[in-house]
Amino acid sequence: MIPHPLGGARLAARLVAPSLNISPNNSLPGSSQVTSFLGGIEQWAVYACLLGLIVGGAGLWWGVQNGSINRTSVSQHKILAALAGAIIIGASAFLITWAFNFGSAVS
């Protein structure tokens, strides 16, 4: 049996269940404004993904109705990009926490 070079189960447990041990410091000037601003940006990004999904769906319908293979292909890419964007936005807090814990595990 060859041992795993990265520590096996211990590293896997750190990657699967990340927990950020930094408590927020709300006493910094502007913390609530930054939090509110980032929440607004996240909301507008979700709206942009929804708009991209609608535009992509309309383009897909148009391409199918007119027999345009190029329009259909471009619209499929728009739909997938909108869905991928929404997934990344939804998972952003988990992804940042995971990346921070992964970086702090490196020694």
Q: What's the confidence (pLDDT) of residue 100? A: 83
Q: Classify residue 45 as exposed, middle or buried by CB count within 10 Å of its CB (0-12, 13-18, 19+).
A: middle
CA 25 to chain centre: 25
Q: What's the confidence (pLDDT) of residue 80? A: 97
Q: What's the confidence (pLDDT) of residue 104? A: 81
pTM of the model: 0.67
